[in-house]
Amino acid sequence: MSEEIKYAIVDTVEPTNAKFSDDPMFRKERKLTRAEKRAIDAKGRLSSPWASGIAILLALIWTIPTFGLFLTSFRPEPDIRKTGWWTWFTNPNVTLNNYEETLFGSSTGLSTFFLNSFVVTIPSVIIPITLALLAAYAFAWIEFPGRNILFVAVFALQVVPIQVTLVPLLTQYVNWGLAGSFWTVWLSHSIFALPLAIFLLHNFMKEIPASLIEAARVDGAGHVKIFFRVLLPLLMPAIASFGIFQFLWVWNDLLVALTFAGGNKNVAPLTVRVAELSGTLGAKWHLLSAGAFISIIVPLIVFLSLQRFFVRGLLAGSVKG
């Protein structure tokens, strides 16, 4: 790759990021001055302490349900049965038995399903993103007959609710003898993710200046080289956003997993098992509370550590459209 392209890349990093600089959440350098100005403004505003107070209060109310169950998952079983979690503050008993029993006990066995969730999710994120990148590249940078019609068709497929597709797909999988294996779950999740992934990544690719691609072509770079050397580095934020989205989507999904892997404890992910336990365990809250948190913990970590990308993806997906 020639020096010009490298320079051009450095140059274009700015404009691509500029997409987000309209949006204050991602304004990095300018945010400081803006925030300071606002802090000064806010001090002058009478409503500010009240607003802060109400905001915090509402945030606490929003968190109480989750916190209550979280606390419960660490309380001994007899305590949970007889008293509410708020009595914990006067009677603080803590145990890890609930987690141990939920993960390894014979009635729940969530450790198996925990692994299943990972095995289901990872390929279901990698495969659609890769395929969508290829397709989005073709739509964005290769002129071919029927390009617009095909792109609109892919866009329109976002409308199809997955319920419409489940039964015929399942019948087909059964006919192929693949039903109840990881393969069908991966394939289904990949298919359902494709329309949105292609659409979003295409929009991001279109933001990259055509001159950059042209320059690389003049230098004799083929599609593969252009894609990996020029586009991929610029697309990383978009890929990260969609990747987190898809990860949370697949990990938290119930319908697809229930339909294609529901009956098989070697494939079914946590959501399927926990939803099932919600019906069968009934009042055994020491197991249900721990089970719920085992299924929640991974997306929570992903979300909290990568919140910035997640919010960016959200805004790109629904506002920028």
**Binding to other proteins in span 203-262, by CB under 8 A:** 222-224, 248, 251-255, 258-259, 262
| Single residue of 4, 11, 36, 41 touching other proteins by CB under 8 A | 41
Classify residue 292 as left (phi > 0), alpha (psi -120 to 50) or beta: alpha
Instruction: Return the axis-axis angle of helices 285-305 and 48-72, rounded to nearest 10°.
Output: 130
Our CB check for other proteins shows the closer of 7 and 18 to be 18
Neighbours of 312 (CB within 10 A): 21
Contact 77, 94 (CB under 8 A): no
Neighbours of 159 (CB within 10 A): 8
Beta-carbon contacts of 262 under 8 Å, excluding residues fewer than 6 positions away, are 268, 272
Least Å distance between CB 130 and other proteins?
6
Our CB check for other proteins shows the closer of 97 and 252 to be 252
Residues 169-188 touching other proteins, rule: CB under 8 A, are 169, 177-178, 181-183, 186-188
| Single residue of 106, 175, 220, 279 touching other proteins by CB under 8 A | 279
| Single residue of 12, 98, 108, 190 touching other proteins by CB under 8 A | 190
Contact 195, 208 (CB under 8 A): no
Our CB check for other proteins shows the closer of 3 and 47 to be 47
CA angle 64, 67, 70 (to 5 degrees): 155
Our CB check for other proteins shows the closer of 237 and 262 to be 262
Our CB check for other proteins shows the closer of 95 and 275 to be 275
Contact 211, 171 (CB under 8 A): no
Dist. CA 238–CA 202, nearest whole Å: 10
Supply 134's token pair.
């290829």
Residues 7-36 touching other proteins, rule: CB under 8 A, are 22-25
Report the half-sphere exposure of 205 (CA within 13 A, side-chain side): 25
Piece of 45-53, 93-101, 201-209, 232-240 that binds other proteins (CB under 8 A) = 45-53
Supply 228's token pair.
């990996």
Dist. CA 76–CA 96, nearest whole Å: 8
| Single residue of 13, 32, 218, 314 touching other proteins by CB under 8 A | 314
Residues that contact other proteins, how many (by CB under 8 A): 121
Residues 49-78 touching other proteins, rule: CB under 8 A, are 51-52, 54-56, 58-60, 62-66, 68-69, 72
Q: Does 304 bind other proteins (CB under 8 A)?
A: yes
> Residue with structure tokens 């916190």?
67
Q: Does 100 bind other proteins (CB under 8 A)?
A: no
Q: Does 94 bind other proteins (CB under 8 A)?
A: no
Supply 38's token pair.
């606002």
| Single residue of 5, 8, 129, 194 touching other proteins by CB under 8 A | 194
Residues 103-162 touching other proteins, rule: CB under 8 A, are 115-116, 119, 122-123, 126-127, 130-132, 134-135, 137-139, 142-145, 147, 150, 154, 157-162
